[in-house]
Amino acid sequence: MTAISVTQAPRRLLRLKQVLDRTGLPKSTIYSRISAGTFPKQVPVGASVRWLESEVEEWIQLQVDARDQQATSGGIGGGIEAAPPSPRIAA
């Protein structure tokens, strides 16, 4: 019989709806970020998929850390002022 280590924190698997609720992202963005390698991959469970709660929480914390790093290094980009000018299309 194999002994199971109980020193690790228990892992929970989240359904897609729970991931969407926690991140505030739409489903299409979740899957496109998975494809791009910028969001945790899903775990196959039978005919469905789940996400490790710890990986989703870590991703959320990384977003907060990136925001805080930008704020301390001179401001947060990505606003209207930081957007490149729109190209003019001749009619």
Is 20 a member of any domain? yes
Task: Look at residue 78 and tell me if it is in a domain.
Answer: no
pLDDT digits (tens, 9 = 90+) for 10-26: 799 999 999 999 999 99
To 10 degrees, what angle do helices 53-72 and 16-23 make?
20
- Whether 2 is in a domain gets the answer no
**25 within a domain of the structure (yes/no):** yes
Looking up residue 56, the CATH number of its domain turns out to be: 1.10.238
Domain that holds residue 42: 13-72
pLDDT tens by residue, 26-79: 999 999 999 999 999 999 999 999 999 999 999 999 999 999 999 888 765 555
Kindly state the DSSP code that residue 83 receives in the 8-state scheme.
S
Region 2-17: mean pLDDT is: 78
Rounded to whole angstroms, how far apart are CA atoms 3 and 80?
57
Residue 42 maps to a domain: yes
Tokens matching residue 72: 């301390």
The number of folded domains in the chain is 1
